[in-house]
Each structure stands twice: as structure tokens, then as C-alpha cells.
């Protein structure tokens, strides 16, 4: 059951973001005169304010005095509780601390009671977890526990001790699938959650078909416009619509998700809009372009977000499609789109996945001498104008060095399925 989303606590907002982004990124200054800290007067239609929000919701001091923080897997390796990262959203629901991970890659949580806390344990519930992921806890004294649960939810009673840190780590093992793995991609639900529910039901079958083909269904990525007017009620309804999902879903906001300047409803519900993760042998960078731009602090972090390391594939997901030399379709600053594409090309990026345009399309961009595939998958339910609408999702299949893509159509009741798409992307076989 989805409860009403918690409001931000302003006393934490500056602390978290300053630690992660640096004082310069927040617009802090020592100049004399009339100055204001970045987003001291909140306007969450601005991308930089949402960066502050996504870092704010990634940690929580519970009512029992336990600091719960999302962490990178690298921080867990060295057990550095002093940091935290925008890897999800954590909230307290009665006696339970609930943490929704933003993605299907590896991440961690740290739990540390303050000196005055009398807490001996934390009832922790993790959501949006891959059914095959391993969730284990390393408590003070070397006690190791494995979380229990079914589907995308795990629950664990984590022992805690004042002055010491308990670590919870989440990791998906992709080994054992000789024929690779699959990821679904789509965006733009808006005013048609009914059709999106049909698409979600069809995606439930993807894991079965993948297993039959010797592949792992990793989950889905959604390129924004989850709601129509960005109200709290719409985000609650969308969160409820995701509850039946038997696979994790990584999200970014679209322009329809950031209309409310007074509360960051997207971040309160789903956490970060800017983050990156590795899963299997792919690196995915998720970007918040809901305002038609990127936050200045995120522009500065693009080399880090796009760094794929030893991963074979690199993808980036955002709402607004970037078109080389013609980015005006929703971007407020074409130069910013080109900076992003340039860095993605420089770091050997393979494909951009976007929505915004309510259609299916794919084409190649040549950026700095490198061909980048762009896939527009605005097919999750939003109106497509006159003619036969094409609803469904893109199936990406990763096998060795190749990424194959096809479209899984989910027609409306009574509609005749299409045989071909208007793009070069083929219709998928049933399996």
C-alpha cells in the first residue's frame, strides 16, 4: 500500500548536497551583498533544485536516531559511512524504514545509530530489487544475514550498535546466462495509465521468454513523463501502478513530471533523476532533462556519469531526444545537448534512449566522428495523434559485443497488431 509521500526536511537539504556536489555547484559564495544559496527559495522546476532534492532523499535519520544512507557499492567496499549517494530514496513508514533502490545494479545502504540512540535493530524493507539479486547484511561483530522476500521486495531485521556501521549490499549476478540478457525501454505514460498497465502486464512475460532463450531479463528503463501534471496524487497513482511489477524499473523524469515548483514530487517518490550504474556488462547513465536542460552540476559530472570502465556497452537514458545540430525539440539550450552528446561520444557511448516524442523511431547520430544510435520509445501510452497508435516497448538484447533491438507491440483491446513499424526497428518475435 502506498502512503502519502513525505515532505522534505529543509534542515538536511543543504548538508547532503554540499557534501556531494561541492560548494561551487550549489552557488555558495563569500561575496558581500545580497546573495542567496542555490534553491534556498525552492523552485523544483529548476534542474539544480532537483539535484539538491535527490541527494536529500537519499538519506534519513530515523525516529530512533539511526542514520540510514544510500551508498555506492565502492563505498561499501571500503566501509566509508561518511559519504552517501543518490542511489535511491529512503523514508520511514511507521516502524519500518523503506528504501527504494533507483536501479538494478549494485548499491548499498549504511545504518549507523548516533551516540544517544538506544536502537538495537532496524526493520528494513527494500523495494525495486531484482528477484535474483542477493541482498546481504554485514553487522558489527561480523554477523552476516541474507534478506528474505519475494518479487522485488526484501525485508531484513538489521542489528545496529551505537558508533558502528551496519552495511546492506544489493548485487545482481548475471553469470549463468550464456545467451546474454535483455532490458526493456519505454517512456511517456501521461494520461493513459490504463494502456501502461497493459504494457506492464506484457513485460511480466519478458522474464519467462528470456529464460526460455537462455537469457536474463534485467528490468526496464523509463524515459520520463510518468504523469501529466506532476501532482502528488498522480505520482502516488503511478507508484501503485508499478506495484505488480516482478522486475526492477529505473526511471528519469520528463517535463510533465516537474511542473510543480513547490515540491519535488518525482524525487520524493522515486529518488534520483541523475545517476549511473553497471549491470551485467553494460553501463547506464540516467539523466534528468525534465526542464529541457541539465543542471550545471550534472554537466560537470558527465565524465564521471558516462565512464563505463571495463563494461562492454554504454547507454544513456533521458527524456528529451538530443539531435546533433538540431536539439530544439524540447531542449531549452541546444549547446547543452551537444556538450552532453560530445562527452558521451568521447567515452565511447553506444546508444541514447529517449522519449518526449510520442512515437517509435531510431537513427544514427555522428558525433565527433563516432556513430551513436538514438532510440525514441515514447510508446508507453501517451496520445500519438491521428492514425494507428503504436504502444509497447523496445526490447534490447545484449549478446557479446552486439545490442539487438526490436519492438514489442501491446495494442489496445480490439486493435489489429501491426506487421511493421514506421521506423527500421522490426517487430519482435513472441519470445
Domain ranges of the chain: 10-171, 181-409
Cell reading at 283: 553501463
In tens, the pLDDT along 25-75 reads 444 444 455 667 788 888 999 999 999 999 999 999 999 999 999 999 999
Rg of the chain (C-alpha set) = 21
The beta-carbon contacts of 411-417 under 8 Å, at least 24 apart in sequence, are 412/195, 412/198, 415/388
Q: Residues in the chain with pLDDT < 50? A: 1-4, 6-31
A 10 A CB-CB count for 2 gives: 15
Q: Is 161 exposed, middle or buried (0-12, 13-18, 19+ CB in 10 A)?
A: middle
| Cα→Cα distances 7→254, 255, 263, Å | 21, 21, 8
Separation between Cα atoms, residue 59 and residue 9, nearest integer Å: 11
How far out from the chain centre does Cα 399 lie?
23
The whole-number pLDDT of residue 407 equals: 96
Q: Are 14 and 28 in contact (CB under 8 A)?
A: no
CA pair distance 24, 219, nearest whole angstrom: 36
Using one digit for the tens of pLDDT, what is the confidence trace for 150-184?
A: 889 999 999 999 889 999 999 999 998 989 999 99
Nearest to 323 by CA among 363, 291, 377, 284: 363
Contact 112, 131 (CB under 8 A): no
Say if strands 154-159 and 121-127 run parallel, antiparallel, or are unpaired: antiparallel
Q: Which residues contact 265 (CB under 8 A, 6 or more apart)?
A: 5, 230, 231, 232, 234, 235, 257
- Res 32: pLDDT: 54
Q: Cα separation of 181 and 81, whole Å?
A: 33
User: Which of 420, 408, 412, 419 lies closest to 389, judged by CA?
Assistant: 412
Topology of the domain covering 181-409: Purple Acid Phosphatase; chain A, domain 2 (3.60.21)
DSSP for 335-399 reads HHHHHHHHHHHHTT--EEEE-SSSSEEEEEEEETTEEEEEEEE--SS----SS----EEEEEEEE
Count other C-beta atoms under 10 Å from residue 290's C-beta: 27
This prediction has a pTM of 0.90
CA distance 252 to 315: 14
- Cβ neighbours, 10 Å, residue 153: 17
pLDDT attached to residue 34: 62
Amino acid at each position: 500500500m502506498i502512503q502519502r509521500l513525505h515532505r522534505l526536511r529543509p534542515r538536511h537539504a543543504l548538508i547532503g548536497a554540499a557534501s556531494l556536489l561541492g560548494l561551487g555547484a550549489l552557488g555558495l559564495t563569500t561575496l558581500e551583498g545580497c546573495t542567496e544559496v542555490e534553491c534556498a527559495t525552492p523552485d523544483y522546476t529548476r534542474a539544480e533544485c532537483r539535484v539538491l532534492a535527490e541527494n536529500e532523499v537519499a538519506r534519513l535519520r530515523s525516529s530512533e536516531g539511526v542514520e540510514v544512507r544510500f551508498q555506492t557499492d565502492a563505498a561499501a567496499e571500503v566501509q566509508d559511512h561518511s559519504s552517501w549517494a543518490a542511489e535511491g530514496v529512503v523514508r520511514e513508514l511507521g516502524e519500518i524504514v523503506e528504501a527504494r533502490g533507483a536501479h538494478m545494479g549494485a548499491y548499498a545502504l549504511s545504518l549507523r545509530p548516533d551516540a544517544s540512540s538506544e536502537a538495537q535493530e532496524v526493520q528494513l524493507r527494500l523495494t525495486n530489487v531484482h528477484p535474483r539479486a542477493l541482498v546481504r547484511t554485514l553487522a558489527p561483530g561480523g554477523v552476516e544475514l541474507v534478506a528474505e522476500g519475494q518479487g522485488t521486495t526484501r525485508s531484513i531485521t538489521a542489528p545496529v550498535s551505537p558508533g558502528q556501521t551496519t552495511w546492506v549490499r544489493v548485487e545482481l549476478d548475471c553469470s549463468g546466462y550464456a545467451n546474454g540478457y535483455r532490458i526493456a525501454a519505454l517512456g511517456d505514460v501521461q494520461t493513459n495509465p490504463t494502456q501502461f498497465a497493459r504494457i506492464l502486464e506484457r513485460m511480466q512475460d519478458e522474464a519467462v521468454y528470456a529464460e526460455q532463450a537462455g537469457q536474463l531479463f534485467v528490468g526496464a528503463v523509463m524515459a520520463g513523463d510518468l504523469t501529466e501534471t506532476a501532482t502528488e496524487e498522480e505520482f502516488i497513482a503511478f507508484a501503485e501502478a508499478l506495484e505488480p511489477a516482478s522486475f526492477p524499473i529505473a526511471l528519469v523524469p520528463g517535463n510533465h513530471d516537474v511542473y510543480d515548483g513547490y515540491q519535488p514530487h518525482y524525487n520524493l517518490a522515486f529518488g534520483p533523476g541523475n545517476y549511473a550504474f553497471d549491470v551485467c556488462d553494460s553501463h547506464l547513465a540516467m539523466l534528468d532533462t525534465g526542464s529541457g536542460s541539465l543542471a550545471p552540476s550534472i554537466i560537470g559530472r558527465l565524465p564521471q556519469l558516462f565512464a563505463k570502465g571495463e563494461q562492454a556497452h554504454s547507454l544513456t537514458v533521458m527524456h528529451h531526444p538530443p539531435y546533433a545540430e538540431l536539439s530544439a525539440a524540447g531542449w531549452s539550450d541546444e549547446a547543452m545537448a551537444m556538450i552532453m552528446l560530445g562527452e558521451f561520444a568521447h567515452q565511447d557511448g553506444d546508444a541514447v534512449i529517449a522519449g518526449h516524442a510520442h512515437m517509435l523511431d531510431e537513427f544514427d547520430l555522428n558525433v565527433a566522428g563516432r556513430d551513436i544510435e538514438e532510440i525514441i520509445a515514447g510508446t508507453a501510452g501517451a496520445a500519438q495523434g491521428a492514425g494507428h497508435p503504436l504502444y509497447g516497448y523496445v526490447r534490447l538484447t545484449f549478446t557479446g559485443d552486439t545490442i539487438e533491438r526490436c519492438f514489442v507491440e501491446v495494442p489496445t483491446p480490439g486493435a489489429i497488431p501491426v506487421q511493421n513499424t514506421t521506423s527500421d526497428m522490426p517487430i519482435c518475435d513472441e519470445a
